[in-house]
Structure 1
Amino acid sequence: MNAASIAALSRAGVAVEVVAQTGSTNADLLARASTLAAPLLLIAEHQSAGRGRAGRSWLSSPEGSLTFSLAWRFDGGPQALLGLPLAVGVALADTLGTLGQQVQLKWPNDVLKDGDKLAGILIETQSAPGGGTWCVIGIGLNLLMPDEMEAQLGRSAAGMPWLARMDRDALMAALLDGLAGCLREFTARGFAAFSARWNLRHAWQGETVVLLDGGVVRHEGRAAGVDDSGRLLLDTDEGRITVMAGDVSLRVKA
Structure 2
Amino acid sequence: MSEQSSWQVQRQLLHYLSDGQFYSGSWLGEQLSLSRTAIANHMQQLQQLGLDIFSVKGKGYRLASPLQLLDSSVIQQWQSDESAPVEVLSITDSTNLQLMQRLQQGEILPKGLALVAEAQTAGRGRHGRAWYSPFAASLSFSMVWQLEQGIQAAMGLSLVIGVAVAELLEHDYQLPVALKWPNDIYLQGKKLAGVLIELSGQSDGRCQLVIGIGINVQLSAAQAEQSIDQPWIDLTTVLGPLDRNRLVAGLQASCAKHLQRFEQSGFAAFQAAFNRRQLFLQQPVRLTQGQQVVRGICHGVDAQGNLVIESQGKKQLFHGGELSLRAEN
Give the TM-score band, short-chain normalised: over 0.9
Greater Rg over alpha carbons, structure: 2
Correspondence 1:144 to 2:218:
yes
Residue 265 of structure 2 corresponds to residue 182 of structure 1: no
Listed as ranges, the matches of 1:79-158 within 5 Å are: 79-98=152-171, 99-127=173-201, 131-148=205-222, 149-158=224-233
- The corresponding residue for 2:96 is 26
- How far off is 1:119 after superposition? 0.4
Query: Match of 1:194, SS?
Result: helix
- Report the Cα offset of residue 7 of structure 1: 2.8
Task: Name the amino acid aligned to 2:253.
Answer: D
Distance 1:127 1:5 in 2: 34
Query: What do the CA deviations read for 1:170-219 (whole angstroms, capped 9, x no partner)?
Result: 111111111110111111111111110001001111111111112x2431
Alpha-carbon deviations, 1:142-165, whole Å to 9, x = none? 122322202321332111115561
2: distance between equivalents of 1:212 and 1:121? 19
Residue 197 of structure 1: which of 263, 268, 273 is its match? Answer: 273
Partner Cα distance (1:127, 1:163) in 2: 40
Tell me which protein shows more helix as a share of its residues: 2
What is the count of residue pairs matched by the alignment?
251
CA distance in 1, matches of 2:229, 2:138: 18
Q: How does 1:56-71 map to 2 (within 5 A)?
A: 56-71=129-144
Measure the CA separation in 2 of the matches of 1:67 and 1:197: 25
CA distance in structure 1 between the partners assigned to 2:227 and 2:199 by the alignment = 30
Alpha-carbon distance in structure 1 between the residues aligned to 2:318 and 2:183 = 14
Tell me the TM-score normalised to structure 1 length.
0.94
Q: Deviations over 1:98-117 (max 9, x none)?
A: 12111000000000111111
What is the DSSP-based 3-state SS (H/G/I as helix, E as strand, rest coil) of the residue aligned with 1:69? strand
In the TM superposition, what is the alpha-carbon distance from 1:135 to its structure 2 partner? 0.4
> The residue matched to 1:72 in structure 2 has which SS?
strand
4+ residue stretches of structure 1 with deviation over 3 A?
none
CA deviation vs aligned residue, 1:27-47 (integer Å, no higher than 9, x gap): 100011131241210001111
Please identify which structure carries the higher strand content: 1
- The aligned residue for residue 54 of structure 1 is 127
2:86 counterpart (13, 16, 24):
16
TM-score by length of 2: 0.73
The match for 2:283 is 207
Q: Does structure 2 retain, via aligned residues, the 8 Å contact 1:207–1:223? A: yes
- Residues 109 and 144 of structure 2 are in contact (CA less than 8 Å); yes or no, is this contact kept in structure 1? no
2:298 maps to 1:223: yes
5+ residue gaps, structure 2: 1-69
Q: Structure 1 stretches of 5 or more lacking a match?
A: none
Identical columns (%): 37
d(CA) in 2 for partners of 1:115, 1:89: 16
Would the aligned equivalents of 1:150 and 1:156 in 2 still touch at CA under 8 Å? no
Which position in structure 2 is the counterpart of 1:252? 327
1:246 is displaced (CA, Å) by: 1.5
The secondary structure found in structure 1 opposite 2:252 is helix
